[in-house]
């Protein structure tokens, strides 16, 4: 029988330890912190999608009702959804009976398959359906490239209940939820989730704080501002944004609304004056927003896409 040398055995043990450390490092840490009575938020990583955060670089909400838990957004992958569920179970023994998708971005809904397998009803606005169908597999391909095996088991799984009105109210577990949709924002299906009893608003990707918002090809800044106007009408005590820490209306106005207003005003003038897009992008005064995370890399794309949107209006 061949003997294994001490050097070989040490090498095998070291490899095992390194593998365990790598696996531990790759596991995303989800923690729900209280926002109001029965209302919680996980504040996600504000950087890019990475192995370390398992693509979960956005905020997730949780509302505990007498008849079950309501999860607001399901995460980016089957695996991260399982981590979210484990975090829910550290807060409550109630099962997750409902999952609300606030929009069509990957980290809002690609965890749906896991929660559907747990028996949850998945709710979203009908305005998100086409976006989810059109971009779901592209999102998954991007996550597979970024995360490798951590994306295994993820299947784009559509909601089981679609809301159709601009304003809808549901009682979930005896708790009143109000849903507001004003034509989209970061994605076409973005909607607000308002809890009038506690004065807490889950904005999804309508509000970004601490980091710069992203205007992507499916974004529309005009309805985005109309949606923000609805937030101002509601005057929430606390906002759980799509990205960034739990915040106030004043901070959301300064870091989301004011940036969109400035961007649109500048690009409208450029279009009206016949200024070409590259010159308009260069002349936009970005200095007030450069302190926000990701500003340098996102600013040019935001400006050019807003210019193109104003050209179409």
Domains and CATH numbers, the chain: 29-312 (3.60.15.10)
> pLDDT (tens digit, 9 = 90+) per residue, 31-68?
999 999 999 999 999 888 999 999 999 999 999 999 99
- The per-residue pLDDT for 28 is 79
> What is the b/e burial string over 132-147, where b = at least 16 CB atoms within 10 angstroms of the residue's CB?
beebbeebbebbbebb
CA atoms of 129 and 167, how far apart (whole Å): 17
What value, to the nearest 5°, has the Cα angle with vertex 251 and ends 234 and 72? 60
What region, left, alpha or beta, does residue 88 occupy, with left being phi > 0 and alpha being psi -120 to 50 degrees? alpha
| Alpha-carbon span 29 to 196, nearest angstrom | 30
Interval 62-74: pLDDT, tens: 999 999 999 999 9
- pTM reported for the whole predicted model: 0.91
The pair of three-digit structure tokens given for residue 77, joined into one six-digit string: 């992958």
The structure tokens 């896991």 sit at 114
Q: Tens of pLDDT along 269-290?
A: 999 999 999 999 999 999 999 9
* Residue 228: predicted pLDDT: 98
The C-alpha atoms of residue 37 and residue 293 are separated, in whole angstroms, by: 30
Q: How many whole angstroms separate alpha carbon 180 and alpha carbon 231? A: 9
Quick: pLDDT tens for 79-117.
Answer: 999 999 999 999 999 999 999 999 999 999 999 999 999
Q: How many CB atoms lie within 10 A of CB 251?
A: 16
At 11, the pLDDT band (50, 70, 90 cuts) reads: very low
Across 123-151, average pLDDT: 97
Tokens of 96: 């997750």
**pLDDT tens per residue across span 230-240:** 999 999 999 99
Q: How far is the C-alpha of 249 from the C-alpha of 264, rounded, in Å? A: 21
Which tokens sit at 313? 């209006």
- What is the rounded distance in angstroms from the CA atom of residue 22 to the CA atom of residue 4? 26
pLDDT (tens digit per residue) in 151-184: 999 999 999 999 999 999 999 999 999 999 999 9
Q: pLDDT tens-digit profile of 239-260?
A: 999 999 999 999 999 999 999 9
pLDDT in tens, 178-225: 999 999 999 999 999 999 999 999 999 999 999 999 999 999 999 999
Contacts of 280 (CB under 8 A, 6+ apart): 266, 267, 270, 271, 303, 307
């Amino acid at each position: 029988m061949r003997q294994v040398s001490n050097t070989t055995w040490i090498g095998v043990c070291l490899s095992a330890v390194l593998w365990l450390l790598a696996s531990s490092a790759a596991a995303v840490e989800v923690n729900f912190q209280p926002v109001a009575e029965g209302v919680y938020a996980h504040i996600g990583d504000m950087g890019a999608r990475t192995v370390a955060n398992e693509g979960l670089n956005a905020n997730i909400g949780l509302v505990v009702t007498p008849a079950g838990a309501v999860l607001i957004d399901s995460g980016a992958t089957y695996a991260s959804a399982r981590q979210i569920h484990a975090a829910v179970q550290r807060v409550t023994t109630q099962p997750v009976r409902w999952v609300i998708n606030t929009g069509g971005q990957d980290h809002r809904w690609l965890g749906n398959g896991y929660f559907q397998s747990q028996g949850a009803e998945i709710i979203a606005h009908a305005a998100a359906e086409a976006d989810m169908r059109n971009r779901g597999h592209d999102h998954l391909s991007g996550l597979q490239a970024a995360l490798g095996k951590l994306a295994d088991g993820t299947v784009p799984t559509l909601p089981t209940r679609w809301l159709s009105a601009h304003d809808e109210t549901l009682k979930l577990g005896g708790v009143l939820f109000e849903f507001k949709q004003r034509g989209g924002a970061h994605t076409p299906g973005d909607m607000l989730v308002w809890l009038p009893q506690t004065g807490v608003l889950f904005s999804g990707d309508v509000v970004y704080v601490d980091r710069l918002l992203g205007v992507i090809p499916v974004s529309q800044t005009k309805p985005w501002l109309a949606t923000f106007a609805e937030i101002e009408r509601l005057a929430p005590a606390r906002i759980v944004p799509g990205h960034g820490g739990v915040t106030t209306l004043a901070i959301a106005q300064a870091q989301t609304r004011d940036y969109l207003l400035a961007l649109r005003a500048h690009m409208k003038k450029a279009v009206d004056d016949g200024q070409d897009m590259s010159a308009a992008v260069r002349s936009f005064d970005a200095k007030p927003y450069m302190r926000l995370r990701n500003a340098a890399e996102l600013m040019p794309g935001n400006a050019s896409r807003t210019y193109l949107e104003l050209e179409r209006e």
